[in-house]
Amino acid sequence: MAKSKTAFVCGECGAEFPRWQGQCSECKEWNTITEIRLAPANAVSRNSRFVGYAGTQDNKVQTLDEVALTEIPRLNSGFNELDRVLGGGMVAGSAILIGGNPGAGKSTLLLQVMCGLAGRVKTLYVTGEESLQQVAMRAQRLGLPRDQLRMLSETNVEQICHVAREERPAVMVIDSIQVMHVPEVQSAPGSVSQVREAAAQLTRFAKQQGVVVLMVGHVTKDGALAGPKVLEHCIDCSIMLDGASDSRFRTLRSHKNRFGAVNELGVFAMTETGMKEVSNPSAIFLNRGEEQTTGSVVMVIWEGTRPLLVELQALVDYSQLGNPRRVTVGLEHNRLAMLLAVLHRHGGLQMADQDVYVNVVGGVRVEDTSADLALLLALVSSFRDKALPQELVVFGEVGLSGEIRPVPSGQERLMEAAKHGFTRAIVPWANRPKQAPAGMEVIAVKKLDEALEAL
């Protein structure tokens, strides 16, 4: 029998050392290094050969054209918005991590998915944070079918894998990865070492058995996934469920996906009966009043594979401070500072003595550069105290020299805006359509001053 080896690992950053020491030389934390037992060499060799979603992996060298190309089957989750974020459905043998703030609805969404799948495939729901009675009470409150979903209350990863081999489910949920523990690791559940080893074993189990493993992940106070960064590297798909505490809408966004596009967005609404899909997200973000207000404009951003209409609000007010405030909600702060400089240099408007507040309505986080032109026009509207037309929609990227750069999928953005009743649009010159949508006037501009004149 091979002798097991030991290693000393920091519980904060995951750094390894040949011997114990009081302070970690990587993260400078004290008393965080613990000893763990490593798997024997023969155990590693037994696990190095596995059967995944693509079949048995042979240890031989092949050219790329010799690899058999087979279509990867996908399992429909029952929620079109979730399938969109996953790239078309769940792939057998994949490990999926779902993170989010407490109360965002991670467990509720997965319970709804599993109860719906239980009637089609074999499922297993492993809960480590709640008792079986608590999960059953939630399912009863949501009105979900409870007669076919298999449940297990366990935190030992080895025991979970042993039960799953006997049950042979097609989909398995781990709620959550932060409370799971591996007996060989001598540290508390939730530590860097435990999370890393537990995720590695569950991912390896998913590949070996061809099981879809859905893992719930906690987040830190900064909103990032808790645990080591290697956790996001070893899994196949990482998605985040976000939502403001005072809003019933939740956004599901993919940050990593080996089987689909990243930055895909799905929208849900939290109701008394659980999570409900929002098939037309633009409608919920365009709940505007009938009266025209200054500093408000509608922009068309591109999220994943579809356009999304979002209202952008800006407030410019005289500052009583020596250093005016720049506050952004839903947009990047540094991009606001850059666009203010462009507006001063190429638009002739000075806001150095003004407080600037920018907000994206609905709690959407916008990373698309096509929001640049809409942001500048909203700032001008608030600064001049003149409202923009409610039937106006704007998109375009603004360069440092004041030019309006084109953005991808301009025609699709205009079609989405026309579908929601918008009749005027200010777009980059390169995005001008050959034939504008019926009933819409499209104004194509090349420079920032042309866009300001078009107002």
Known binding site: residues? 100-107
Residue in 309, 311, 318, 306 with CA at minimum distance from that of residue 352: 318
Can you tell me the distance from the alpha carbon of 144 to that of 235, in angstroms, rounded to the nearest whole number? 29
Residue with tokens 């949920």: 173
Please spell the DSSP secondary structure of 231-289, one letter per residue. Answer: HHHHSSEEEEEE--TT-SEEEEEEEEETTS-SS-EEEEEEETTEEEE-S-HHHHTT---
Residue in 262, 261, 240 with CA at minimum distance from that of residue 251: 240
Can you tell me the distance from the alpha carbon of 140 to that of 145, in angstroms, rounded to the nearest whole number? 8
Q: Which phi and psi angles does 172 have, rounded to 5°? A: -135, 135
Can you tell me the distance from the alpha carbon of 348 to that of 343, in angstroms, rounded to the nearest whole number? 7
Q: From residue 62, give the alpha-carbon distance in Å to each of 66, 70, 72, 329.
A: 6, 16, 20, 50
Long-range contacts formed by 227-233: CB under 8 A, 24+ apart = 227/177, 227/178, 227/192, 227/195, 227/196, 227/199, 228/13, 228/14, 228/192, 228/195, 228/196, 230/14, 230/196, 231/97, 231/177, 231/195, 231/196, 231/199, 232/97, 232/256
Give the helix, strand, coil percentages of the chain, each rounded to 5.
30, 30, 45
Residue with tokens 């537990």: 198
Torsion of CA 218, 223, 226, 229, to 10 degrees: 130
Can you tell me the distance from the alpha carbon of 332 to that of 166, in angstroms, rounded to the nearest whole number? 49
- Which residues carry a binding-site annotation for ATP? 100-107
Can you tell me the distance from the alpha carbon of 357 to that of 210, in angstroms, rounded to the nearest whole number? 50
